[in-house]
Structure 1
């Protein structure tokens, strides 16, 4: 069963979400935290939610992060703490205890929420390919990225925002982005272009080409499963190993045939098994 709801975050922003409930008793609750340009109706987020419900008996909360879909926004105010508050509001509305599944920048947000000390009900975290940039051997975003990104968003230059974020923040080659502009996906990307400063607020400190500081992650005291794909860029595979090394209770699984644009049928099993291990059944 799928029902749609909303919750109000600490700053008054409305956060919309879908609740997927399995038939029979639930084996626990997981909140999905999408990455850049993702939203709750994004097909792979929906597919992941459906698989975790159907195959693992989990209650799944699939939400629109602020600035996307049916959720509200906080224009000109971009702070990772706001999105931690959003997750706190979701978790409180759904019984006070839940795991988090984060994808890309959403994985970093999930880890930051778990380490914030402000949401004691987080039980565990799945972090799929957090895009940390821990050395300077590959793409490193420019230091003035935030200023340019904010200017583009303020001017509502959506296509340029998408192009700039993809090439400068993520490191996607410009010719590939150019090809994307003639696909049906482009309009979906431009629709959520204004949310990209929220992603950058989450990621900026951890994409500077320097090693992760264990002190930044000591607060993540819950079990963490870091997932990466064998077909993903080397930067992401390196980031997965670096994250695992600094988290107090983490293990890393690389899925050989997976990429950052994943086959959800390969992604769901290790996540579902981890999320239901020792999980207390609920009714």
Structure 2
């Protein structure tokens, strides 16, 4: 479906989030919450291929243009409250889909507020990226975005040096990664906060998705397993041969799975 308009929603601390809406803006639909190093633009191909809901609202979380800043009081709780503001603005939302850090936020939100259906692709939680926090803090203090991108790709996601060098050689791609890395240190710090032993207790239905290339391996597969243990009633679905960046590498396959999961 085509993007129809963009909505700005005020949130706490004088910040705001923007939401890209695809499809019928007046119809209840699916809210999509991206994670770290991602924004609404990166999810347009997925959103345009979703047909099971009459609308798809993709959130640009705070800390990425054109949404507002993280603010000094930023925490995991901030993200949960921001999602509540989005759900209030899109009354009647039928499902929430969270990717990576966005999945963790959605699961925590559904622990306090009723959600008809919650879908999460490879949500991450503590100790994801914990070992790299000192280096991320140092790079953030220096505002060295090249170092931040290098740390997340090498030390957290485990890309080999040749792959990182190829990314750096593509100036447009690397600049986009630098832009998206600005809030990364504080987001990684927040996602390493303690979470309840059980999450999403107020969701009527929870579907967890893991890629076949991630399952059982660090860092995404092992973090998925940590989350899975905290959502005992969830249904688990595997996207064969896919990894964490499925929205970029196989957006049509992800959209097809989402269409099939619509309640």
User: Common fold, TM-score beyond 0.5?
Assistant: yes
Among 103, 109, 134, the residue aligned to 1:107: 103
Among 48, 51, 55, the residue aligned to 2:49: 51
Tell me: CA distance 1:238–1:152, structure 2 relative to 1, closer, same or farther (3 Å): closer
Summarize deviations over 1:33-67 as a string: whole Å, max 9, x none: 1122101112xx00111112xx2133111121111
Q: Which residue of 2 aligns with 1:209?
A: none
8 Å Cα contact 1:78-1:201 kept in structure 2: no
User: Which structure 2 segments of 5+ residues have no match?
Assistant: none
Q: Which residue of 1 aligns with 2:213?
A: 231
Q: In angstroms, what is the RMSD of aligned CA positions?
A: 2.7
Residue 175 of structure 1: CA displacement? 4.0
Report whether the alignment pairs 1:125 with 2:153: no
CA distance in 2, matches of 1:268, 1:198: 30
Q: Which residue of 2 aligns with 1:169?
A: 156
| TM-score, normalization by structure 1 | 0.79
8 Å Cα contact 2:30-2:95 kept in structure 1: yes
CA distance in 1, matches of 2:160, 2:123: 19
Residue 187 of structure 1: CA displacement? 0.7
CA distance in 2, matches of 1:199, 1:149: 11
| Secondary structure in structure 1 of the residue aligned to 2:56 | strand
Residue 32 of structure 1: CA displacement? 0.9
CA distance in 1, matches of 2:57, 2:200: 27
Q: Which residue of 2 aligns with 1:18?
A: 20
8 Å Cα contact 2:32-2:96 kept in structure 1: yes
Residue 156 of structure 1: CA displacement? 1.8
Alignment of 1:18-97 (within 5 A): 18-22=20-24, 26=27, 28-42=28-42, 45-52=43-50, 55-95=51-91, 97=93
| Secondary structure in structure 2 of the residue aligned to 1:81 | helix
Summarize deviations over 1:206-262 as a string: whole Å, max 9, x none: 7xxxxxx87242645431111112123623334434433331420101121322222
User: Which structure 1 segments of 5+ residues have no match?
Assistant: 135-139, 207-212, 278-283
Report whether the alignment pairs 1:7 with 2:9: yes
Q: Which residue of 2 aligns with 1:280?
A: none
8 Å Cα contact 1:220-1:247 kept in structure 2: no
Report whether the alignment pairs 1:189 with 2:177: yes
